[in-house]
Amino acid sequence: MLNNNNNNFYYYITASGDHEAHVWRSFVNIPQSVPEDHRPSSGDDDLDTSDKEDVDGTGAENDNMTYIRTPQCVLEGHSGVIISADWMPDGRQIVTASWDRTANLYDVETCELIQSLTGHDQELTHCCTHPTQKLVVTSSTDTTFRLWDFRDPNIHSVNVFQGHSEAVTSACFASGDNVVSGSDDRTVKVWDLKNMRTPITTIRVDSAVNRLSVSPQYNVIAIPHDNRQIRLFDLNGVRLARLPRSSRQGHRRMVCCTTWLDEGSNCNLFSCGFDRQVLGWRINGLTTGTIDKS
């Protein structure tokens, strides 16, 4: 979760099992993609070499990496694992979601807890903020997701939506006042904020849905699955592509998360999995509707 300011620094949040969220400041450099000819080959799609680590613990220090050991801000107040965090659109506040069944709203400058958002019956799985408005959506294993409205400073309203039969693993905003939710019930649903009684689109898949993301520019949904698949759909439910999952190109284990990056970078989609890898993908043809991935 990155937030760029005028000094060319990136501020980003990390959520942790130690019940704290940290705000860090750093430059972020995305490495160039490795040519296919220089990648290690393997004939076994399920081969997992991710557990091989540097024995003496010094290998990583030789890769010209910058290590940041002191956060700019420490956010406290949760009593359980913090599973997700996101910036409010003005960059001055942060919302976090926790297994303690609450979401917290913090002031970044003072690191103080502004408000605790309660109401979910079970652990939260995700939180996401609207890109331009003071709206927050939280999802939970209680099969619901909630919309929190902070646009009126005097009235903080909340709406509860029950559209899934199993845990809602993520919910996020898309352009045009839409919300996209994914669930362990093997569905992804698109909702209109003006009428949230029934979804406008239901996408049915063959595996549980993990933390999905929506391209803010092109409204393409990237859906990560337990079965190592990553599928791309538009908001109308039309399937656009399936990303490779071979040992040379894709994840070797469950894909737990995806996120889109602004156009103009070497990679515009990132995914991470239980194989302890973060993969960068270049999705071409988003403007033309003819998807190509590299």
Instruction: Give dist(CA 219, CA 224) in Å, integer.
Output: 16
Q: Which residues contact 159 (CB under 8 A, 6 or more apart)?
A: 146, 147, 149, 196
76 or 62: which leads in pLDDT: 76
Domain 1-36+57-162 fold is Methylamine Dehydrogenase; Chain H (2.130.10)
Number of CB atoms found within 10 A of residue 64's CB: 6
89-104 mean pLDDT: 95
Distance between CA 222 and CA 236 in Å, rounded?
14
Rounded to two decimals, the pTM is 0.82
Q: Give 116's contacts (C-beta < 8 A, 6+ positions apart).
A: 77, 102, 103, 104, 105
> Average pLDDT, whole number, for the chain?
84
User: Phi and psi dihedrals of 273, rounded to 5?
Assistant: -140, 180
Has residue 149 got a pLDDT over 90? yes
Residues in the chain, how many? 294
pLDDT band per the 50, 70, 90 thresholds, residue 29 = low
Domain layout of the chain by residue ranges? 1-36+57-162
> Residues 74-98: what's their mean pLDDT?
95
Higher pLDDT, 197 or 67: 197
What integer pLDDT is reported at residue 15 of this predicted model?
93
Query: Residue 41's pLDDT is what?
Result: 44
